[in-house]
């Protein structure tokens, strides 16, 4: 398949036979589809939190649609990032499906922190 | 009188393509001066200033920029304005690889509110306002 620039479709992959006759085509995914994190807007949840003992700064960054983020933030209030990975950037839907992969039961602490 | 403990984390807005600034301990007229100067120098289209708390302001610019350009702009302002709080904030954003501004309330501080706007507001500022509404709804 070779890429061509079509006036109505933009950049597309096109396959042609040995005589150059058109066979099939498919659209080229946008660059942003390959780099979903780049330029993605996200909601950051940060602060000091404790799981078993002590207090450490932790942070979630959720990207995705509004409804998933809304639910993920509600869940993140009681499931705080694990000690092994305290700074988590994840899609809100992925976090909702597997919250214990990214966090553990704990609580956030009211303490001054920089963004 | 006992202070009610809020065990809530802080919610913020994070991305790489919006040019944002966080001025700590700076007068409003100086914040406006630097926002104006950065807007004109880098052709950023427009900006809004949000008051975070007394003498603490956030600035959000309208034009979409790459992260490389974004860091160039915020570092330029931080260096020339000589604001220690802004310098520290810029370094932290560079470590993270994305910039964050607080949207929710934080201890005794209320959530930042828009106090001034200038120029175009249709690109990143419109997106910022939309996300800000969502975050406030969650908070």
What's chain B's average pLDDT? 90
B133 lies in some domain: yes
Q: Which of A75, A91, A106 is nearest to A43 (CA)?
A: A91
> What would the pLDDT profile of B102-139 be if each residue is shown by its tens digit?
999 887 888 999 999 999 999 899 999 999 998 988 87
Q: Chain A residues with CB inside 8 Å of B89's CB? A: 114-115
B86 domain-assigned: yes
User: Contact A4/A14 with Cβ under 8 angstroms?
Assistant: yes
Q: Which of B12, B37, B22, B21 is nearest to B118 (CA)?
A: B37
Do the chains contact at A115 and B22, CB–CB below 8 Å? yes
Q: Which pLDDT band holds residue A115 (cuts at 50, 70, 90)? A: low
**Domain count for chain B:** 1
CATH number at residue B95: 3.30.70.1790
pLDDT at B128: 93
In a domain, B108, yes or no: yes
| B7/A43 CB distance under 8 A | no
Greatest mean pLDDT range, A11-20, A43-52, B40-49: B40-49
Q: What's the whole-number mean pLDDT along residues B23-44?
A: 95
* End-to-end CA, chain A: 47
Torsion of CA B22, B24, B30, B32, to 10 degrees: 30
Distance (Å) from the alpha carbon of B8 to chain A's nearest alpha carbon: 6
| Closest residue in A to B93 (Cα–Cα) | A115
CA dist A24 and A28 (Å) reads: 13
pTM: predicted TM-score of the whole model, two decimal places: 0.79
- Domain annotation covers residue B8: no
Position B7 in a domain: no
Beta carbons of B14 and A43 less than 8 Å apart: yes
């Amino acid at each position: 398949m070779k890429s061509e620039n079509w006036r109505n479709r933009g950049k597309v992959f096109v396959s042609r036979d040995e005589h150059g006759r058109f066979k099939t085509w498919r659209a080229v995914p946008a660059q942003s589809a390959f780099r979903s994190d780049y330029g993605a807007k996200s909601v950051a949840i940060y602060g000091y939190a404790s799981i078993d003992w002590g207090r450490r700064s932790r942070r979630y960054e959720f990207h995705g649609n509004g409804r998933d983020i809304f639910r993920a933030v509600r869940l993140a209030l009681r499931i705080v990032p694990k000690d092994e990975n305290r700074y988590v950037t994840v899609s809100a839907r992925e976090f909702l499906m597997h919250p214990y992969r990214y966090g553990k039961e704990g609580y956030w602490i009211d303490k001054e922190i920089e963004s | 009188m006992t202070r009610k403990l809020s065990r809530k984390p802080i919610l913020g807005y994070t991305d790489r393509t919006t040019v944002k600034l966080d001025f700590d301990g700076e007068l409003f007229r100086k914040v406006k001066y630097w926002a104006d100067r950065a807007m004109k120098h880098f052709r950023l289209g427009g900006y809004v200033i949000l008051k975070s708390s007394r003498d603490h302001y956030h600035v959000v610019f309208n034009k979409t920029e790459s992260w490389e350009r974004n860091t160039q702009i915020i570092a330029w302002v931080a260096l020339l304005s000589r604001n220690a709080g802004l310098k520290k904030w810029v370094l932290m954003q560079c470590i993270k690889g994305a910039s964050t501004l607080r949207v929710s309330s934080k201890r005794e501080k209320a959530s930042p509110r828009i106090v001034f706007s200038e120029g175009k507001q249709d690109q990143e500022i419109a997106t910022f306002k939309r996300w800000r509404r969502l975050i406030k709804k969650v908070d």
